[in-house]
Amino acid sequence: MGASWKRTHDCGELRAAHAGATVVLNGWVNKRRDHGGIYFLDLRDRYGITQIVLPQKVAGDVKLGPEYVLSVRGKVTLRDGANINRERPTGEIEIAVEHVEVLSSSPVPPFPIEDEIDTALDLRLRYRYLDLRRGSLQRNLIHRSKFIQAMRRAFEREGFLDIETPILTKATPEGARDYLVPSRVHPGEFYALPQSPQIFKQLLMVSGLDKYFQVARCFRDEDLRADRQPEFTQLDMEMSFVDEEDIFGTWERVLQATMREACGVELESPFPRMTWDESMERFGVDKPDLRFGLELRDAKSWAADCEFQVFRNALAAGGRVMGITVPAALALSRKDITTLEDGAKALGAKGLAWWKAEKAGGAGPLAKFCVAPGSAERLMALMSASDGDTILFVADREAVVRKVLGDLRNQLGRKFSLAQSGTWKFTWVTSFPLFEWDEDSKRWFSAHHPFTAPVDWDLGGANADFAKLSSRAYDLVLNGWELGSGSVRIHRADVQQRIFEILGIGPEERQRKFGFLLEALSFGAPPHAGFALGLDRTSALTLGLDNIRDVIAFPKTASAADLMCGAPSQVAPEQLAEVHVRTAVEAQVAPEPKA
The residues that touch RNA, with contacts defined as CB under 7 A, are 31-38, 40, 42, 51, 53, 55, 63, 65-66, 79-80, 82-85, 87-88, 91, 94, 108, 110-112, 118-123, 125, 172, 174-177, 195-196, 198, 220, 222-228, 436, 445-450, 547, 549, 557-559, 561, 563
Non-local CB neighbours of 227 within 8 Å, separated by 6+ positions: 481, 536, 537, 540, 547, 548
Name the residue nearer to RNA (CB basis): 125 or 535.
125
Cis ω before 527 (30° cut-off from 0): no
CA 122 distance to own-chain centroid: 21
Residue 503 beta carbon to RNA: minimum distance, rounded to whole angstroms? 10
Residue 6 beta carbon to RNA: minimum distance, rounded to whole angstroms? 26
Name the residue nearer to RNA (CB basis): 392 or 563.
563
Name the residue nearer to RNA (CB basis): 143 or 220.
220
| CA geometry: angle 105, 140, 290, nearest 5 deg | 160
Q: Are 272 and 190 in contact (CB under 8 A)?
A: no
Residue 176 beta carbon to RNA: minimum distance, rounded to whole angstroms? 3
Q: Would you call 205 helix, strand, or coil by DSSP? A: helix
Residue 572 beta carbon to RNA: minimum distance, rounded to whole angstroms? 21
- From residue 466, alpha-carbon distances to 403, 431, 460, 461, 499 in Å are 22, 14, 8, 10, 10
Q: Are 553 and 128 in contact (CB under 8 A)?
A: yes
Q: Would you call 82 helix, strand, or coil by DSSP? A: helix
Residue 586 beta carbon to RNA: minimum distance, rounded to whole angstroms? 13
Q: Are 236 and 196 in contact (CB under 8 A)?
A: yes
Q: How many residues belong to the chain?
A: 595
Q: Are 72 and 10 in contact (CB under 8 A)?
A: no
Name the residue nearer to RNA (CB basis): 358 or 550.
550
Residue 224 beta carbon to RNA: minimum distance, rounded to whole angstroms? 6
Name the residue nearer to RNA (CB basis): 78 or 576.
78
Non-local CB neighbours of 309 within 8 Å, separated by 6+ positions: none
Name the residue nearer to RNA (CB basis): 131 or 389.
131
Residue 110 beta carbon to RNA: minimum distance, rounded to whole angstroms? 4
Pairing type for strands 180-182 and 390-396 reads unpaired
Residue 446 beta carbon to RNA: minimum distance, rounded to whole angstroms? 5
Q: Are 213 and 530 in contact (CB under 8 A)?
A: no
Name the residue nearer to RNA (CB basis): 73 or 220.
220
Name the residue nearer to RNA (CB basis): 109 or 526.
109
- Give bridge partners of residue 436 from the DSSP assignment: 445
